[in-house]
Structure 1
């Protein structure tokens, strides 16, 4: 990638970046409705005949079955994980830790159509534990190393774009495999991603028109570059040892056999193209296993299919992405997404036409693409975070976030577990197909422009056996009590203050409490504390009672403890108990502008009962 003297990418690579990101998302959104459709004969697809559609999918499995409405142009996990990888590369030099410890765990509550292997691995990362760790159950580790799906290949686009400047694929291959092992351990997932990644990297660097079949030929000729198992021990300590243990010392043999498997697929694709036949797509896709439900989700199959379709339709890209998206019986969304990325990297975005404006989060996709294109790994980016600032996202963080989300209303602002901010657009209930199950979703829009759909599935509380044995009178009494309890929807503290503006600054800017609602003479913090004027209620309370001395003690837990300590010290507010420990947690006490005592605890560490 050629850079100017301000480290900005030249227009050509930015154009290709826009094409690749938009092409990937558009292929994903077009193919997603067809993902589980039965195989049908082709009817000669064209871009005019196939637009984005509104459709309904069944989610939740057997025990939590419910309907999910997908609006036209909305994308699935393929694009979500491309964006998660992109943010990690743009956030920190320790991108791998950011992706595995923060982005992937958070993804579990907004994923749409995510694969089983990726979700299983994400659950391990929620425990801050690699999925290959010996701390996991043996069966879970086995399933991880048997995971050879296309969940890796679908998300490695950003690595190929940032690596354009290097001129060598070796550094890119290290990043691709390091990214891949976060969720998948089998060579089929990793080798497939490397073959696809090499083709994508060369598509970005290629200038001019790509000849018919050239991408297949280039990939075959450079097997040694993408077929080597890179050393990722520096990034992923213990992974190769665990892989060899699983494979009984033969992991590299399995790797070499998988490379051979991919090259054989690509040879079949090349041979078919050399014959010059027009109606070869279905025949070739069948030969490489794209229609075989036993293997069509493999990373090797998806990569070969995407490289084939991109090579065949480089001169007619819209036909290529449509052909991939509507090939019912194949893994349509992923193959179409990967094909769209390749064709976009070759041709730029102009061929995408109205699709480029209708796709979900079009502006955000362009923005991220441009930032990745302008990211130069050879430049020291001083604003990137360091390892010490990466705090793992845990299940307790997700539970806390969803609890806060349940208290929000439309247009409220909320901080996400990965530290981004978002506005709540709406919430809605899903149609369910199982008794005693409730499914609610919230649509959020992040401040930088991404749409997220957070879903909470829960079971309705069942009556206890004790209640069933109660007499009619007892039931009536209990029902009345429950009704009264149900009337108490929220519990909070109204804190009288001398100056609302000063108190607002202290609790919001200094202590970091989120303002969830604000009106004249009242500021609601975290849905719990309401700042009100000091004469609040004076009109209905006698002067003697109202004039009594008032002091309150507030208790706050924060995951940004050190920042809060520094902010309080800098603000000049008095600290009456210096930082110390209480029950194993760090805490301090300070005085707010109105003389109330505030206890601040470090929420990043909660001791086990054996530690106390």
Structure 2
């Protein structure tokens, strides 16, 4: 029996702008980090630029697999689907396979292996992928990569009206490739942060998301968030691991001050988005992923209007999407698949 999803909340203009910022924020963070992935860590006086290159190699402004995979989810979420349902998970899994077959760039090792195994397995796409992911995780002690957290922002938009459903969907979508408990928990926390940022315009949802974790894991994650707030992003050097990836992104967000409102001097609080993304790239190592993770939450808090115009003009990526296309996918998802601006 199909679930009856909670109604999508009506979004005023400011909340709609914040919803529109989720995919766009992830994409610009991704494209900003692409040139510096696994290269020498930038100094504090060095400003990252969208110059392309990286592991793709990518064109200037082009986003990587981090956003490409999130687009695969968004194409399903934008129809108004409940992302917990098997049919939706099958569709997402099929999109992943289509993306991989089209020559996806810079695919993570774990994701590539799971998708390849699932493609040869019987059963529906989602079932095959979840089973391949479970078997991989059972055989590998190091299976808690950042590959599901990097694509999770759109899941929050699909379930703005029901935080419990949001948490269930975050776990289900993560489990297609990354069922490790650390991955599931990280996706729940970040989706909670994005949902609250869109609806309320604060970052409070990340810590509020602790309530959706298993009781025995909440204290551990509270300490991890404390640690992130106490250290700069570059402290979390193993950010291919989902825990350090989340901590580096959260550190970049919480330790970067929002400028005071001084219009005469060209200073606005929403410039926090740009400054925090630059800090995320300076974390080093998996720069595009950390910045994509941070970008989804920063976009949810400050909105698409906070993304610098030059970044909006430059950003592009598979499958031939621009900033306006990413905004449209996000808004369709937040409105339950409806084009009606009134929600």
User: Which SS does the other structure have where 1:25 is aligned?
Assistant: helix
What is the correspondence of 1:163-562 to structure 2 with a 5 Å cutoff? 163-166=159-162, 169-207=163-201, 210=202, 215=203, 218-225=205-212, 227-228=213-214, 256-257=216-217, 259-270=218-229, 272=230, 281-282=232-233, 285-286=234-235, 290-291=236-237, 295-313=238-256, 314=258, 315=269, 316-328=272-284, 330-353=285-308, 354-360=310-316, 361-375=322-336
- Please name the residue that 1:2 is paired with: 9
Residue 153 to residue 113, structure 1, CA distance change in 2 (3 Å): same
Q: How far does residue 85 in structure 1 lie from its aligned partner after superposition?
A: 0.5
Quote the offset at 1:200 in angstroms: 1.4
Distance 1:141 1:157 in 2: 23
Measured in 2, the distance between the counterparts of 1:299 and 1:126 equals 25
Query: CA separation in 1, counterparts of 2:121 and 2:288?
Result: 30
Deviation of 1:56 after TM superposition, in Å, equals: 5.6
Matching residue of 2:4: none
In structure 1, runs of 5+ residues without a counterpart are: 4-8, 58-67, 230-255, 273-279, 378-612
Residue 121, structure 1, aligned to residue 114, structure 2: yes
| Cα offset, 1:21, TM superposition | 1.4
C-alpha spacing 1:42/1:223, structure 2 compared with 1 (3 Å) = same
2:138 matched residue in structure 1: 142
CA contact (8 A) 1:317 1:343 kept: yes
Q: Distance in 2 between matches of 1:137 and 1:335?
A: 23
For the structure 1 residues 163 and 76, does the alpha-carbon distance in structure 2 shift closer, same or farther, using more than 3 Å as the test? same
Native 8 Å contact 1:146 1:185 kept in 2: no
Contact 1:24–1:340 (8 Å) recurs in 2? yes
Q: CA deviation at 1:310?
A: 2.1
- Which aligned runs of 4 or more in structure 1 are off by greater than 6 angstroms? 136-139
Matched-pair contact (CA < 8 Å) for 1:14–1:369: no
Task: Kindly indicate whether residue 69 of structure 2 is the aligned counterpart of residue 77 of structure 1.
Answer: no
Match of 2:261 in 1: none
Q: What residue in structure 1 maps to residue 49 of structure 2?
A: 51
Deviation at 1:261, TM superposition (A): 3.6
Find the aligned partners of 1:56 and 1:161 in 2 and give their Cα distance: 30
The alignment's TM-score, normalised by the length of structure 1, stands at: 0.46
What do residues 531-573 of structure 1 show as CA deviations (whole Å, max 9, x unaligned)? xxxxxxxxxxxxxxxxxxxxxxxxxxxxxxxxxxxxxxxxxxx
Secondary structure of 2:78's aligned partner: helix
RMSD: 2.7
Give 1:151's aligned residue.
147
What displacement does 1:145 show?
7.3
Q: Distance in 1 between matches of 2:134 and 2:184?
A: 22
* Structure that is richer in strand per residue: 1
- The alpha-carbon deviation at position 131 of structure 1 amounts to 4.7
Q: How far apart are residue 160 of structure 1 and its match?
A: 0.6
**Cα–Cα, structure 1 residues 332 and 165, in superposed 2: closer, same or farther, change >3 Å?**
same
Deviation at 1:182, TM superposition (A): 0.6
**Is 1:153–1:193's contact at 8 Å kept on the other side of the alignment?**
yes
In structure 2, the residue matched to 1:18 is 20
How much has 1:309 moved relative to structure 2?
A: 2.1
Q: Take 2:183 and 2:300, find their aligned partners in 1: how far apart are those partners?
A: 22
Query: Are 1:39 and 2:32 matched, yes or no?
Result: no
Structure-2 change in CA distance of 1:312 and 1:203 (3 Å): farther
> Is the Cα contact below 8 Å between 2:137 and 2:179 reproduced in 1?
no
User: Do the aligned partners of residues 337 and 51 (structure 1) sit closer, same or farther apart at CA in structure 2, a change above 3 Å counting?
Assistant: same
1: CA distance between counterparts of 2:23 and 2:60?
A: 18
Cα distance between partner residues in 2 of 1:34 and 1:198 = 29
**How many angstroms apart in 2 are the aligned matches of 1:144 and 1:363?**
40
Summarize deviations over 1:351-371 as a string: whole Å, max 9, x none: 222101110122221221121
Query: Are the equivalent residues in 2 in contact too, given 1:131–1:144 (CA < 8 A)?
Result: no
Contact 1:148 1:189 in 2 (8 A): yes
For residues 105 and 219 of structure 2, the distance between their equivalents in structure 1, rounded to whole angstroms, comes to 33
Per-residue CA distance 1:209-268 (angstroms, 9 max, x = gap): x4xxxx3x653355222x139xxxxxxxxxxxxxxxxxxxxxxxxxx45x5443212112
Answer yes or no: is the 8 Å Cα contact 1:145–1:186 preserved in 2: no
- 1:408-431 CA distance string (max 9 Å, x none): xxxxxxxxxxxxxxxxxxxxxxxx
Deviates more, 1:32-41 or 1:175-184: 32-41
Q: Is the alpha carbon distance of 1:369 and 1:309 closer, same or farther for their aligned partners in structure 2, counting shifts above 3 Å?
A: same
1:132 positional shift = 5.7
Select the structure with the greater relative contact order (CA < 8 A; seq sep ≥ 6): 2
Shift of the alpha carbon at 1:319? Answer: 0.6
Kept in 1, the 8 Å contact 2:31–2:63? The answer is: yes
Q: Tell me, yes or no, if the aligned pair for 1:85 and 1:158 is still in contact at 8 Å.
A: yes
| DSSP 3-state at the match of 1:334 | helix
